[in-house]
Amino acid sequence: MSSFPFEFLLLEHMTPTYREATLRALGMPPDQIAAHRKQCSLLLPDQLDSDVTVYEQLLGPPAKQEPCKDLPSQFAGSVAYLFVLMLWPDLFWVVHRRPDGGSWGVGFRNQHNRPPRSFDPSLVRPGLWTRELLQRVAPTWTLHDGWNEKLAIRFSIDDGLYEGLFVLGLLQEWRRVEL
């Protein structure tokens, strides 16, 4: 089973700059990409919170499962299902499942979730960092703009202000904000 159809579906929702760079790096002919993409019937963002069994059908079994901790009562007892994707091998595609079977908090997460000992914001690169990890590294952050799966967040780091644009939790663009 190939996860490419789902992964190309995800790419359709990324920023044009990120999507084009990723597709260019793959070097696949556009007709092959389109053929893969058509094999995934999931609708995003409408069906993003599908049950984890839908994701298992698309991606195969999860790499691992882990209980979620320190959650509000409506999410208590949830389990995170962590999938590995070919286009993002250093990240997890995470589907959180409540005990009643519903899903929430679907998106990307770094596999290595421990912040680096020494952090330099000029070395942050799209496609490698997630919102969750950058929020943990930055002393302060604020939501600048956004909606469901697309967010712009501003991070105060050292003496600088940086803005990250995220789609489904994955960093798409990173820039220093000049005030």
pLDDT tens-digit series, residues 81-90: 999 999 999 9
Tell me the three-class secondary structure of 43-104, residue by residue.
Answer: CCCCCCCCCHHHHHHHHCCCCEEEECCCCCHHHCCCEEEEECCCCCCCEEEEEEECCCCCEE
Residue 108 pLDDT grade (very low, low, confident, very high; cuts 50, 70, 90): very high
- Return the pLDDT at 80: 96
Domains in the chain: boundaries: 4-110, 121-176
The encoded tokens of residue 100 equal 């009643």
Q: What is the mean pLDDT of the chain?
A: 90
Is the CB of residue 102 less than 8 Å from the CB of residue 87?
no
In tens, the pLDDT along 111-127 reads: 987 777 888 898 999 99
pTM for this prediction: 0.90
The answer to whether the bond into 29 is cis (omega within 30° of 0) is: no
In tens, the pLDDT along 16-63 reads: 999 989 989 988 887 888 888 888 888 888 888 889 999 999 999 999
- Return the pLDDT at 1: 53
